[in-house]
Structure 1
Amino acid sequence: MRFLHTADWHLGHHLCDKDREEEHSRFLDFLLHTIHEQAIDGLIIAGDIFDNANPPNASLRMYYNFLKSLTQSPCKHTVIIGGNHDSVSTLNAPRALLQSFNISVIGGATENINDEIIELKNEEDNVQAVVCAVPFLRDRDIRNAVAGELYEEREKRIKEGLANHYANIAKIAQKNRPAGCPLIATGHLYAAGARRSDSEKDIHIGNLGQIAATAFPQAFDYVALGHLHRPQKVGGEERIRYSGSPIPLSFSEIDDKKQILLVEFEGEKLQNVIPIDVPIARRLRRFKGSIAQVQAELELFENGTEALQCWAEVQLELEKFTPDADEQVRRFAEDKNLQILKVSATYTSSAASLAEQVDSADLSELNVSDVFSRRCESQNLDDADEKEMTRLFQELLSDMEEEKTR
């Protein structure tokens, strides 16, 4: 059996207020082409199909058009799980209809864990593989809140809840799977030791939900993960993988290769995991240094063979406040196939006055946690108070996020 593992599409995503629709459209065309070219049997999408709980109509249309195209492809089975950005109800709404096309959707944790176990059958009704389709597990799905519990106690309960869910579902699935069939698990979480970028939201408070590779039972022949946008193994294990996002979602991902993973089984034995690079439709660049250094780099810039205009971030290092720095930098790029989306500045001179060291970031560049952190800094709280305030804020924020994605 051969299937593709992908995740973290984030349809509807914006980078500095610029929509990514063209890039996503090109990725989905590439994915569909790969399914035909490689005669793929199955597809797993490990969460964060959409960028937020209320995706725009254009993103929904793109998603459904892709699923429609899948029905006319060699792909016989598709398994889709919800991520922390996805609305459970939005994903689950067409579930019964999609099931008739062998597209299984698990938008959120189910009341009966058996409903997360999906058998993939061939035309003769023989089971080819069993998938434990575990979606993003919210706090309420894996632990019972205890009034007054300490941070360390909550951390322990969340980790235990995640590990227990995987242990229980593995035990049930292993008991019933036919001999010679691979057992595949999914997940949308933050595994301990994995490398993150700037664009992933914390899933649990302060990433309490980090679990080790050992939390995934050996019964699983492959674990298809989502949430982190960099493709990587977990704990050095070939069988536990993040596919990463198909397009860069922040300037911190400019050096990351974007991939989908081709996973091959011979019976229940994992034979190969082959990364397939996603073609770059739009390059992201970061220019850093003094105004003169940035000018020199911009003069040498060529966009290459990418189909779409390059987007850039400029990080200036200045000795003193320069009112027209932003304007100067943008002027250097006027004759280039490049658009500067963001200019920020840091000051290297200790002589620069506080008034000169203006914060070049505006609210559109900050997330709510950044704003709260800056507010705490302005209050000159001691370390213990700031840590406690931040913990409480993150807890409230997590509750709000869970409410939005019901």
Structure 2
Amino acid sequence: HSIYALAAEQQVSIKKESGKTVPIIATGHLTTVGAKSSESVRDIYIGTLDAFPSSAFPPANYIALGHIHRPQLVGGLEHIRYCGSPIPLSFDELNNDKTILLVEFANGEFKEAIAKEVPRFQPMHLIKGNLEKIESEINTLAKQYELSQPAWLDIEVSTQDYLNDLQQRIQSMVEDLPLEVLLLRRERKQRLHSIDSQSKETLQELTPKDVFEKRLALENWEGKDLQEKRQRISQAFDEVVDDLINESELYTVEK
């Protein structure tokens, strides 16, 4: 709020000098109460950021938020919004239109936000089913694209059998086709129902948090004190992962 106070002072100063009322626009990168996320949004629990209430925002004329990839209002307020990511950042976002927002002001006050659809240049597809169904869909998709711009695939295999050559089988299906498999995984409910399958999960099928939780599960956490300790350790891990990913994203942008 001290930053907002400085902005408000500057707003008054500009109006005195020019006679124009400029809007105060705030930005933030956080999760707010009730925001709908997607699988590509990292689970972070740092302080109160995971449940930041809309009532705690300063009275800016417009607040543009990031971190949640789906466009949405915050607390039903027209001037506090996530515009969403301009491109799909996970395959569960493929059915969502990607937009940017053109925000208009009148005399410094928010007037409206107009969504402008962002064209999609990289084809992406999610394929689910048994090996026979997957191969059929791969052959159908292959006819739609050229080798110069292959489509990206997320393939989820449903089978009762554990196939130790699953990756090789899928790769042979897309060999020499304008298709690139970015993610290959077994149907999660099949892995959860089979202890034997769980023991054979590969790192490709697990997130860093999955691996960390499996390691924590090997320890004894009985009792309130130990449970609280586990929660602190888990939160510290989330902070480290979030810092590393943010540094990686910043490096990519600067590069």
Query: TM-score under structure 2 normalisation?
Result: 0.75
Task: Report the Cα distance in structure 1 between the residues aligned to 2:217 and 2:10, rounded to whole angstroms.
Answer: 55
Q: Residue 209 of structure 1: CA displacement? A: 4.3
1:169 has 2:9 as partner = no
Relative distance call for 1:349 and 1:205 in structure 2 (3 A) is closer
Residue correspondence of structure 1 range 347-386 to structure 2 within 5 A: 354-356=195-197, 358-362=199-203, 366-379=206-219, 381=221, 385=226
* 1:242 positional shift: 1.3
The Cα offsets for residues 329-354 of structure 1, whole Å up to 9 and x where unpaired, read as: 3333336421112221148779x864
Of 279, 282, 285 in structure 1, the residue corresponding to residue 125 of structure 2 is: 285
Question: Where does residue 29 of structure 2 map in the other structure?
Answer: 188
Q: Which runs of no fewer than 5 residues in structure 1 stay unpaired?
A: 1-166
Q: 1:278 to 1:400 in 2, by over 3 A?
A: closer
Name the counterpart of 2:101.
261
Question: Judging changes above 3 Å, is the alpha-carbon distance between structure 1 residues 185 and 398 closer, same or farther for their aligned structure 2 residues?
Answer: same
Contact 2:156 2:185 in 1 (8 A): yes
Provide the C-alpha distance between the structure 2 equivalents of 1:230 and 1:192, rounded to a whole number of angstroms.
14
The residue aligned with 2:181 is 340
Structure 1 stretches of 4+ moved >6 Å: 347-350
Q: Secondary structure in 2 aligned to 1:314? A: strand
Contact 1:320 1:347 in 2 (8 A): no
Residue 322 of structure 1 corresponds to 163
Count of residue pairs brought into register by the alignment: 236
AA paired with 2:100? Answer: I
2:154 is aligned with what amino acid?
E
Q: Secondary structure at the match of 2:51?
A: coil
Q: Distance in 1 between matches of 2:121 and 2:188?
A: 34
User: For the residues of structure 2 that align with 1:229 and 1:299, how far apart are their CA atoms?
Assistant: 31
TM-score by length of 1: 0.50
In 1, the alpha carbon distance for the partners of 2:194 and 2:70 equals 39
- One-letter amino acid of the counterpart of residue 278, structure 1: V
CA RMSD of aligned residues (A): 3.4
Q: Which runs of 5+ in 2 are unaligned?
A: 248-255
Greater relative contact order (Cα 8 A, min sep 6): structure 1 or 2? 1
- What CA distance in whole angstroms lies between the structure 2 residues aligned with 1:399 and 1:332? 38
Among all aligned residue pairs of Structure 1 and Structure 2, give the percentage whose two residues are the same amino acid: 32
**Is the Cα contact below 8 Å between 1:290 and 1:317 reproduced in 2?**
yes
